[in-house]
Structure 1
């Protein structure tokens, strides 16, 4: 794992209190990371709740306008769409700025950093050549700009683990109907089912995660 990361990074591993050279003058005049991203801008349950809350839409409405689905190692997961004509993010406005910057997905907040998932939690690395504008140092936690960061990182680790377990479980199923049923159960648990307004996300996440795990065989 570390050898692979060394090949695409500056060779350093960062924690949330470390300084990393990613400051880019608020991306002024640049939006290269908002174009030609295909289905790589993933949307997790935390992102989903924020988008639903801020845009006043349910997940089905989001799918009609800005969210698509794709298969990732057998598991169906959501992502932000690119505009067909320009191949830029659907939320990139006419002046090349993010129209949902205050509640943009975690992948967008993270870039050009990448995540490392280990038993002790989540750490970060700087992707080589991902952003040519990154020049000034900034603390990782400030760059991520996410409230309750400790709880958020715990959620990220749990979400990553859940997806891996789901993918492994799907690989053992024999029929496409079985796989489709499990994928729909996954999507219903964390995306199609509306999140409760005003309720703590992390409590609701834990409840939904436990419910899904209770109905899946070991």
Structure 2
């Protein structure tokens, strides 16, 4: 385990890799869903998250926009986030017993909690968010077991590529002054990566890799 980084105030001061052990296991949560309330601005959804959700729900991206997800703006980019119910601030995917109805296909950020990612040198590690889980004590679990995602290497390569694309686009949009151009860029991003990316029977990672070069060209980013 690498402890060279210090994330003061929000972590235990260590960074973890996929094979490391970390005190993150809440033991099945025992009916608690505190981390699924009032987090709409925190859980930004990647194209892979939406791909998993639409398969599970047998619904389109626009179907989910009706009452499960919503678009939020950050750094002039509009991206889908989990939608919280207006009165209760509960995640819209919770059932009446406060259990997640898409647990097997839950977003990557949800899989991580109480871990987070820290990016460095075109890579990322994990850190433990101290005090964010309401459970009094958490037990140690291997990071890869806690995340529990198939095809980890492919998923990590996608996350890094998506992170690089959004970082480059954020820089590009600093120089866009025309609101119509800005709207067109955001529409292209949503259409390309959230609405039309994967055809029936196609592998997500193959589809993403195939689409990425042309999308960069269209978005005018490296």
Q: TM-score range by the shorter chain?
A: over 0.9
In 1, Cα distance between the equivalents of 2:184 and 2:19?
Answer: 42
Matching of residue 62 in structure 1 with residue 36 in structure 2: no
Structure 1 residue 141 corresponds to structure 2 residue 139: no
Distance 1:216 1:22 in 2: 39
Partner in structure 1 of residue 38 of structure 2: 36
CA–CA distance in structure 1, aligned partners of residues 97 and 168 of structure 2: 42
Q: How does 1:3-152 map to 2 (within 5 A)?
A: 3=6, 5-133=7-135, 134-152=137-155
Distance 2:220 2:105 in 1: 36
Match of 2:160 in 1: 157
Aligned partners of 2:220 and 2:108: how far apart in 1? 31
SS in 2 for 1:36: coil
Residue 174 of structure 2 is matched in structure 1 by: 171
Q: Distance in 1 between matches of 2:69 and 2:54?
A: 11
**Aligned equivalents of 2:204 and 2:195: distance in 1?**
15
TM-score (norm 1): 0.95
The equivalent of 1:195 in structure 2 is: 198
Gaps of 5+ in 2: none
Tell me if structure 2 keeps the 8 A contact 1:45–1:191.
Answer: yes
d(CA) in 2 for partners of 1:76, 1:120: 24
Report the Cα offset of residue 16 of structure 1.
0.4
Shift of 1:147: 0.2
Structure 1 distance, partners of 2:43, 2:70, is 10
Report if the CA contact (8 A) 2:34-2:134 is conserved: no
Contact kept in structure 1, 2:70 and 2:83, CA below 8 Å: yes
Alignment equivalent of 1:184, drawn from 154, 170, 187: 187
Is 1:170–1:182's contact at 8 Å kept on the other side of the alignment? no
Gaps of 5+ in 1: none
The CA distance in 2 between the partners of 1:199 and 1:118, in whole Å, is: 31
TM-score by length of 2: 0.93
Aligned-pair RMSD on alpha carbons? Answer: 1.5
Q: Is the 8 A contact 1:47 1:105 kept in 2?
A: yes
Give the Cα–Cα distance (whole angstroms) in 1 for the partners of residues 16 and 102 of structure 2. Answer: 27
